[in-house]
């Protein structure tokens, strides 16, 4: 049985570029049931661009982040968020083989590089590849590469959200993030505020202090959308991806 190289596609810009660059044997997408509806459109566009289908893996117990949060009555803490373990890690563990190579879309931005190091430390037996870090590709460069390839990124980026994650992401503590959720996804914001009050949590950090969603300042502003940006390393990656496309055509 040959070793599989599996790209973990999250319906975000970075994982899309990592997948395209790595030419994997399989592409897996962990369905959480909590993402923006435009992520599905992006996934389908990427399937055409990749030239291969995306395999969906999912929890056998939970259909969505909301079902999980309301069942566990726990959102996030020192050990992280239960949604990551239940909706992403457990389905991966159930589907993977011991000798699989796993490709992740962590970028060359400082925070993503830290997360890649944490993954390596937490899963020392997991065989991993981080093609964007190796190539020096940032998230801004990923957006640029997508635009030049004619692939419209998920709409949440244009709203200012830094990632195409679940709406909302309970691991987020930034008041800028929650301000954007309040502005663009008021129903989800209100639903989360009700759960937060029910479990007596405080998801937001303002000036170093934890506050509830309802205490988020009314004049709080969100992030500005990340502008696509392509440097020399990004240009090299674009040439490589163009060459891949031409070879397939």
* pLDDT tens-place string over residues 217-230: 999 999 999 989 87
pLDDT bucket at 247, cuts 50 / 70 / 90: low
Is the residue at 75 inside a domain? yes
What range defines the domain where residue 97 resides? Answer: 5-155+228-248
What is the structure's pLDDT at 244?
A: 66
The number of domains in the chain is: 1
What is the structure's pLDDT at 245?
A: 56
Is the residue at 213 inside a domain? no
Is the residue at 205 inside a domain? no
Q: Is the pLDDT of residue 131 over 80?
A: yes
Is the residue at 135 inside a domain? yes
pLDDT bucket at 236, cuts 50 / 70 / 90: confident
Q: Is the pLDDT of residue 80 over 90?
A: no
* pLDDT tens-place string over residues 39-52: 999 999 999 999 99
Is the residue at 144 inside a domain? yes
Q: Is the pLDDT of residue 200 over 90?
A: yes
The conformation of residue 150, written as its DSSP 8-state character, comes to T
User: The domain that contains 75 carries what CATH number?
Assistant: 3.40.50.620
Question: Nearest-5° angle of CA 102, CA 123, CA 241?
Answer: 25
Please state the pTM of the whole predicted model.
Answer: 0.92
Is the residue at 241 inside a domain? yes
What is the structure's pLDDT at 78?
A: 78
Is the residue at 168 inside a domain? no
What's the rounded Cα separation, in Å, for the pair 33 and 58? 9
Phi, psi of 120 (to 5 degrees): -60, -40
- Beta carbons of 146 and 15 less than 8 angstroms apart: no
What's the rounded Cα separation, in Å, for the pair 43 and 12? 9
Segment holding 177, helix H or strand E: helix 175-184
Is the residue at 163 inside a domain? no
For the residues of 57-72, what is the DSSP string, one character each?
A: EE-SS-SSHHHHHHHH
């Amino acid at each position: 049985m040959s070793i599989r190289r599996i790209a973990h596609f999250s319906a975000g810009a970075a994982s899309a570029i990592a997948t395209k660059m790595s030419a994997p044997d399989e592409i897996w997408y962990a369905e959480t049931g909590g993402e923006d509806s435009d992520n599905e459109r992006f996934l389908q566009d990427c399937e055409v661009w990749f030239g291969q289908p995306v395999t969906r893996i999912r929890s056998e117990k939970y259909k969505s982040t909301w079902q999980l949060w309301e069942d566990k009555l726990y959102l996030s803490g020192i050990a992280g968020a239960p949604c990551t373990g239940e909706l992403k890690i457990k389905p991966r563990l159930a589907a993977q083989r011991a000798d699989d190579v796993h490709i992740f879309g962590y970028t060359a931005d400082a925070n993503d590089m830290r997360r890649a190091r944490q993954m390596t430390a937490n899963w020392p037996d997991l065989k991993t590849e981080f093609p964007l870090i190796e190539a020096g590709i940032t998230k801004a460069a990923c957006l640029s590469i997508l635009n030049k390839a004619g692939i419209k990124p998920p709409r949440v980026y244009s709203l200012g959200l830094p990632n195409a994650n679940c709406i909302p992401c309970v691991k987020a503590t930034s008041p800028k993030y929650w301000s954007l959720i309040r502005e663009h996804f008021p129903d989800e914001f209100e639903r989360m505020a009700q759960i937060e009050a029910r479990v007596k949590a405080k998801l937001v950090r303002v000036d170093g202090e934890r506050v509830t969603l309802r205490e988020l300042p009314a004049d709080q502003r969100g992030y500005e959308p990340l502008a696509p940006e392509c440097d020399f390393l990004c240009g090299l990656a674009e040439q490589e991806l163009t060459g891949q496309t031409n070879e397939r055509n």
